Amino acid sequence: MHIDLSGCTALVSGSSQGIGLAIAAALARAGAMVVVNGRSAERTEQARESIVAEVPGASVRAVAADLASAPGAALLGEKVPELDILVNNLGIFEARPVFEIDDDEWRRYFEVNVLSAVRLIRMYLPGMMERGFGRVMNIASDSAVVTPLEMVHYGMSKTALLAVTRGYAKAAAGTGVTVNSVMAGPTHTPGVEEFVHDLVGAELPWEQAQHRFMVEHRPHSLLQRLIEPAEIGNMVVYLSSEHASATTGGAVRVDGGYIDSILP
């Protein structure tokens, strides 16, 4: 299947590293003009340079802004007034005993993982609807439906994203714009490596640590390994294309079969 996103402008929030960076690179490889984003101007520019090095001829722009805040979102809107493809990837996670999560931490997870996406959808979706084309994707997680005991606050935020997705998909009904969640499973990123070592022991070699993590903490995975970020990027590219024109309001799984359910 050949996917050509030439002529489309795409934004991936939180794309200076990890899954977001892989998604941005995949969209650039498909021909989209990609806006990468992060809080740090230096790291965001480094992300831009890495994509250009990986994808010769890619059109990539770096916009540093803290999208977990209303002023940061407004700044982005001034610099990038229109989009064809919006990928809400920005998110935080950390293991924390559930009884130790205080009110401020609950609010922070909602602000960063949910409200950042809502702000950008409010900003860009109406224009997409007026033009009759657009793609919105919220990067959710298996944790949206399989709440992890070690980070209930994170699971809550990803569950909320599924509801946000469905609601805005209904708002865009009949306009040619699609709104979907991409439910990523346990994924191999530097942050996840640190998370895994925190759970199973920092002294273990990575391959052993990954195996123990999957066996002890993600035993339902049918892949029995962590997903690579590029595999999530592939799904985002497909959902961004005309080939996915009949897929909207959905929770599309790239979870390695981790969710033990026929439906999300």
Q: What is the pLDDT of residues 96-125, one digit of tens each?
A: 999 999 999 999 999 999 999 999 999 999
Residue 122 CB contacts under 8 Å (≥ 6 apart), including other chains: none
Domain co-membership, 151 together with 161: yes
Domain of residue 177, CATH code? 3.40.50.720
Give the per-residue pLDDT at 135. 99
Structural element, H or E, at residue 19: helix 18-29
Domain co-membership, 118 together with 213: no
Torsion (CA) 90, 95, 96, 98 in degrees, nearest 10: 90
Q: What is the pLDDT of residues 136-149, one digit of tens each?
A: 999 999 999 999 99
**Residue 3: inside a domain:** no
Domain co-membership, 134 together with 201: no
- Whether 168 is a known active-site residue: answer no
CA angle 11, 15, 19 (to 5 degrees): 115
Domain co-membership, 193 together with 149: no
Domain co-membership, 135 together with 193: no
Q: What average pLDDT is seen over the chain?
A: 96
Domain with 94, as residue range(s), is 9-187+232-251
Domain co-membership, 144 together with 200: no
Active-site residue, from 109, 124, 154, 168: 154
Give the per-residue pLDDT at 218. 87
Domain co-membership, 106 together with 211: no
DSSP sequence for 221-250: -SS-SPBPHHHHHHHHHHHHSGGGTT--S-
Q: What is the pLDDT of residues 151-178, one digit of tens each?
A: 999 999 999 999 999 999 999 999 999 9
Q: How many folded domains does the chain comprise?
A: 2
The DSSP secondary-structure symbol of 112 reads I
Q: What is the pLDDT of residues 189-199, one digit of tens each?
A: 988 899 899 99
Cβ atoms of 62 and 36 within 8 Å: the answer is yes
